Amino acid sequence: MDDYPVIDADGHVLEGLGWLEQLPADLAARAFAIEDGEPPILVMGEHRVRMDIAIGDGSRPGGLRAGEARGGGMEDVPAAAFDPEPRLALMTEMGIDVSVLYPTLLLMIQMVGDELRAPMVDAYQRWMHEFCAADPSRLRWVTPLPRNDVDEACRLAERGVERGAVGVMVSAAPTPGAGRLLGDVAEDPIYAAVAAADVPMAVHVSDAWNSTIDLHRLTPTRFMWDVAAGPFDMMLGMLHAFGGGLLDRHPTLRVGFLEGNLGWLRYWLHKMEESYEHLGSVFAAPEQAPLDQFRDRCWISGETGEPELVDVARTIGADHVLFGSDFPHYESTWTPVEELTGRDDLTADEHRAILHDAPVSFYGLDPAGLPGRVR
């Protein structure tokens, strides 16, 4: 491999007790609890989720493969998921120089009620600031940003960037209650604030239990959810963002679509362009075609083994395709960099673009502030 820092653009933490300790005791008890039952219930405020898989299996690479499931709890979760020192050691083993970290539990933050939502994000920001202080050049983080309350979101975005976040993460799902779609003009202060801070907005798979899209009812088994929920989430988010004029109104905003695979992207861009043409008498097309808009201001992440990765990279440019390990989630692996660089259908330049150039441009990272290659 050439001598450039490898950047994991979408790793995860599993929020441990350190996060809860940042909350007042009365809020901590309501922010996260697991109720016994068959299956157990994860409780976050008024939001309740059936835990149809064990947390120890769902938070370990390959943990749900045949013969691998143990049915364990936090004791089966790799320490690298919630402790920075083991995480740094594991990154070195994996050949990852920099990890940009996303939450796990707070992927569902948009579903949490008004009283808890901002304190939970604030506590997470403080915890991640401390977590990444173990090695700020190698550990970076993104703040979750619930869109429920526009003023609240602007405050949380500003505070997160002040604390060191290199981006914000939003859900593609309509907001509970108000039902606003991603990119709604009422949310323009959020998008303007993110653009002004010169950090990207990552539209990340989340909220499978969000009643505003009802994905859990439509995909009642874990198999159905795993096949459909991520891609549908991202396709819906992209449709709302492009079709609602978000990119036109905020021309400096960088937008990423993460963890929903990428094989569908070429079709989706083509279909949007085709629909603009067919509906030209009733709906004005934007100045830039969707493909050109994507090439200018959007990025997407994919899995290392996706066969469509090559075609997508050559359609939008490999420097707009992000590598995300997804560690420690069950669909991740222990050797993601090796799997990508082992693909001989990608050139060495494309390896570099995906592993380094794309995340540098998406997150606006200063190359001079990046560490050297780990050995």
**Does residue 359 belong to any structural domain of this protein?**
yes
Residue 211 pLDDT = 67
Structural domain range at position 174? 7-30+79-369
Q: Of 157, 175, 168, whose CA–CA distance to 255 is shortest? A: 168
pLDDT digits (tens, 9 = 90+) for 32-76: 988 888 888 889 888 888 888 888 998 999 999 999 998 888 888
Residue 74 pLDDT = 82
**Does residue 300 belong to any structural domain of this protein?**
yes
**Does residue 282 belong to any structural domain of this protein?**
yes
Checking if the pLDDT of 161 tops 90, the result is: yes
pLDDT digits (tens, 9 = 90+) for 356-375: 999 999 999 999 999 988 76
**Does residue 54 belong to any structural domain of this protein?**
no
**Does residue 49 belong to any structural domain of this protein?**
no
Residue 35 pLDDT = 87
Which region among 71-80, 103-112, 148-157, 312-321 has the lowest average model confidence (pLDDT)?
Answer: 71-80
pLDDT band at residue 353 using 50, 70 and 90 as cut-offs: very high
CATH number at residue 263: 3.20.20.140
pLDDT digits (tens, 9 = 90+) for 258-307: 999 999 999 999 999 999 999 889 888 888 999 999 999 999 999 999 99
Please, are residues 95 and 337 in contact by the beta-carbon 8 Å criterion? yes
Burial of 147 (0-12, 13-18, 19+ CB in 10 A): buried
**Does residue 270 belong to any structural domain of this protein?**
yes
Domain count, the chain: 1
Residue 372 pLDDT = 82
pLDDT digits (tens, 9 = 90+) for 105-144: 999 999 999 999 999 999 999 999 999 999 999 999 999 9
**Does residue 290 belong to any structural domain of this protein?**
yes
**Does residue 283 belong to any structural domain of this protein?**
yes
Residue 186 pLDDT = 97
- Predicted model pTM: 0.95
- Please give the sequence-ordered ranges of beta strands (E in DSSP) within the chain, or none if there are none: 7-12, 33-35, 41-44, 47-50, 98-102, 139-141, 143-144, 168-170, 201-204, 255-258, 298-302, 321-323
